[in-house]
Amino acid sequence: MPLNKSTGMSSASIPEVARATALASLQAADPALRRSAAQTLAGQPEAVPVILDALERESSLAVRTALLDSLAATPGDEAVQALAGCLRSEDAWLRNAAIDLLRGMPEQVAPVIAHMLIDPETDIRILAVGILDTLRHARVEDWLLQLIDAETDVNVCGAALEVLTTIGTSAAIGPVTTLMRRFADEPYITFAGRLLLNRLGRGA
């Protein structure tokens, strides 16, 4: 079942009785009721902690999809942080689904992406680069250039360079050239760097 990317529009606040019913229904035995409850809670910031709790124990893919869609449709930093937190899950489906949704939320992701790119965990930094891969935001190149300037892990740099080979502008020439010197013994960095420089007409 496909995930619905956020449109940036939030649902109007729902009546307290309807919210309470939906929260209770997240624990219903019938997955159809749980899915309906998840959809009802879309756009409700106060429901974010409960949605996260439900997501941890939910086994139905349809319900999990609805829970994630509800987070993506909810305004505020807490919901975006909740989706970003899914990147730490050991569940590959959950990580990939969260990445897909975050890619469709450029303005909402912008305040948190810088923190993800300097996360102590290498895997999180690589996943953050994966979000930038198709994130339509004016600062994507800036973020990637800042990353490769300070990053010490070759795998993170390689991931960033892979994205830069397709979106990099002349602003990337200096930082990428420096990166190639730093990792002169790494074949992929050399290959991807030359690919970028050749595309920009600066190949050696």
- Judged on CB neighbours under 10 Å (0-12, 13-18, 19+), 71 is buried
Average pLDDT over residues 171-181: 97
- Position 142 scores a pLDDT of 96
Task: Give how many domains the chain has, as a whole number.
Answer: 2
- Position 50 scores a pLDDT of 95
pLDDT digits (tens, 9 = 90+) for 1-25: 445 554 443 445 677 888 899 999 9
Q: Would you say 151 and 157 are in contact if contact means Cβ atoms under 8 Å apart?
A: yes
Q: Are residues 94 and 22 part of one domain?
A: yes
Q: Are residues 104 and 19 part of one domain?
A: yes
- Position 6 scores a pLDDT of 47
Average pLDDT over residues 29-52: 95
The pair of three-digit structure tokens given for residue 11, joined into one six-digit string:
């649902």
Q: Are residues 142 and 64 part of one domain?
A: no
Q: Are residues 147 and 100 part of one domain?
A: no
- Position 3 scores a pLDDT of 58
Q: Would you say 180 and 193 are in contact if contact means Cβ atoms under 8 Å apart?
A: yes
Q: Are residues 144 and 55 part of one domain?
A: no
Residue 76 within any structural domain of the chain: yes
pLDDT digits (tens, 9 = 90+) for 95-124: 999 999 999 999 999 889 989 999 999 999
Domain of residue 168 covers 138-204
Residues above pLDDT 90, as percent of the chain: 85
pLDDT of residue 171 exceeding 60: yes
Average pLDDT over residues 132-156: 95
Q: Are residues 157 and 102 part of one domain?
A: no
Here the CATH number for the domain that contains residue 181 is: 1.25.10
pLDDT of residue 28 exceeding 90: yes
Q: Are residues 145 and 47 part of one domain?
A: no
Q: Would you say 156 and 126 are in contact if contact means Cβ atoms under 8 Å apart?
A: yes
